[in-house]
Structure 1
Amino acid sequence: MEIEADHLLDEVEMLLEGGVGIDSIFVDLLAPAARKLGEFWEADACDFVDVTMGLWRLQEVMRELAMRAPPVSQALLQSPTALFAPLPGEQHGFGALMLQEVFSRNGWNSDVLLEPRKGDLLGAVAETGYDLLGLTISCDCPSDALSDLIAAIRGVSRNPSLQIFVGGNMINARPCIANEIGADGTAPDARSAVVLAEAKILGSRPFGQVTF
């Protein structure tokens, strides 16, 4: 956690020069590093400031890579739409940013909300008919509260067929929670989430290629 973002970027550039793809850097390097920070926090091996600074450095690396190699435009195709956000009340949005970037690179028209209030989230799905909403849940939250939130989202969604995926540390520890709270699916990482979303939402309709 003491390494600065530019030093991390130097290490990543060496991997890229060795033939590792940007999507793999996101999913197989940056995302596990973020999860490890969460494990340190849960084990009281670091404090909130350490976690925040560590995630900020990872986020800076991700943004720099995204700027260097932006997603290929899918303007001529009817791209599916997705919105990603952390659970209202959570301050860390690295997971949502990661999902937004990976889905964009796989042909989705995706948006992200950071540090949303419940009203922000409900307003977004009421205004735009997203195909998919992905919520990242890092901290423990009562199942009843999550069920109520998902029910509220469905109640106002402009798209009555909106698919809601949940993920993050809490869900990864107990994937069965996704079904219990009324979500449509969960995946352990962004790569798996893209595959699941294509299967559930797009079916056999081609629109692009998964690039992993």
Structure 2
Amino acid sequence: MANAPMDDNAFDRSEYRKADRHFRLVEEKLPEEAVSALAREVVRRLAFRMPHALKKEDLPTQSDIEQLCGALLSKNNDAADNFILSARRDGVQLEAIYLGYVAGAARRLGDMWDNDDISFIDVTLACGKLYRIIRGLRHVIAPGILGDRDDWPAMFALVPGETHTIGIEIATDVFRREGWDVDMMVALDHDTLIEKSERRSYKAIVLVANSDGMLEALTRLVLALRISQPLAHVIVAGNILDHHADIIDVVGADAVMKDMKTAVGTLRDLIA
């Protein structure tokens, strides 16, 4: 990627605001244990993206990481955003921003959390800020994440923990008969599903959940996929839609698929 400073217009403020609203709603709607699991998911998914291809001189120093963590833990809501955008304006490579600064800060936050150096509230706020930053930078970091993957139209996945597969099997069959190349993933645990999904770059990901008890698992899955599939459109389907009128905002999705009659058109319009 180029070393030229990033124009602020490249920062996706719409996705940034959606990610910020998502984390705020999660803190309001889900129990503390679920919020903690989501914060852990952010730390884990970001922390282990290692900068193998970067030169040592391109990596942030320990002092840089400490400054970014300080900004993330600051009461100033914009401090971390300003730190990252300032580094980019100074010509810091995008790989270094994502794999050095963001991943380094995630690892440091994880260590501080494990050592009880910061509170649950502190780390949750910091993780929310990290998440909204990478969503804001999704278009400029996407080539580094998706560059070696095959492009694929869609993935249909049953949320881990769900056991009723008939609905997703019917939907997959309908879309395939309409000419879509669809990967279907069922009966997989969370980590395996994410691992398998990272083999391709999907334009759309449809997540199927039926019971109200799947809200936490669905939210965690959307968050993980947002990190590994930064450009994919995420759609929620299944009977869970009957339980949550505001599910798009709560889980951080882009749209819902309410019925099979309009499903193909909905997905086609969303991608277009």
Query: Normalized against structure 1, the TM-score is what?
Result: 0.52
Structure 2 unaligned spans of 5+: 1-150
Among candidates 156, 167, 170, match of residue 95 of structure 1: 167
CA contact 1:178–1:186 (8 Å) conserved in 2: yes
Deviation at 1:110, TM superposition (A): 0.6
Deviation per CA, 1:34-73: give whole Å up to 9, x if none. Answer: xxxxxxxxxxxxxxxxxxxxxxxxxxxxxxxxxxxxxxxx
1:184 matches 2:258: no
1:7-156 paired onto structure 2 within 5 Å: 81-141=153-213, 143-156=215-228
Aligned partners of 1:101 and 1:145: how far apart in 2?
25
User: SS where residue 148 of structure 1 aligns?
Assistant: helix
Residues 142 and 90 of structure 1: is their aligned pair in 2 closer, same or farther, counting only changes over 3 Å? closer
Give the distance between the partners of 1:173 and 1:102, measured in 2 at CA: 25
1:134-186 CA-to-partner distances (Å, cap 9, x unmatched) read: 111111136454322211111122xx311111111111343421232111111
Greater fraction helix: 2
Among the aligned pairs, what percent are the same residue?
Answer: 29
The 5 A counterparts of 1:156-175 are 156-157=228-229, 160-175=230-245
Q: Is the 8 A contact 2:152 2:200 kept in 1?
A: no
With over 3 angstroms needed to count, the CA separation of the structure-2 counterparts of 1:183 and 1:190, relative to structure 1, is: same
Query: Aligned equivalents of 1:131 and 1:124: distance in 2?
Result: 15
List alignment gaps of at least 5 residues for structure 1: 1-78, 204-212
What's the TM-score, normalizing by structure 2? 0.42
Rounded to whole Å, the distance in 1 between the matches of 2:154 and 2:242 is 21
Instruction: Note if contact 2:194-2:225 (Cα within 8 Å) is conserved in structure 1.
Output: yes
**How many residues are treated as equivalent by the alignment?**
122
1:88 Cα deviation after fit: 0.3
* Contact in 1 for aligned 2:162/2:214 (Cα 8 Å): no
Larger RCO, structures 1/2 (Cα 8 Å, 6+ apart): 2
- 1:93, 1:114 within 8 Å by CA — same for their partners in 2? yes
> Any idea what SS the aligned residue of 2:163 has?
coil
- Asked if the contact 2:209/2:218 (under 8 Å) is kept, the reply is no
AA in 1 matched with 2:157: A
- 3-state SS of 1:108 partner: coil
Partner in structure 2 of residue 37 of structure 1: none
Distance 1:103 1:172, change over 3 A: farther
RMSD: 2.0
Q: Which has the larger radius of gyration?
A: 2
Output the CA distance in 2 between the equivalents of 1:142 and 1:90: 8
Aligned match of 1:194: 264
Inter-partner Cα distance in structure 1 for 2:152 and 2:198: 17
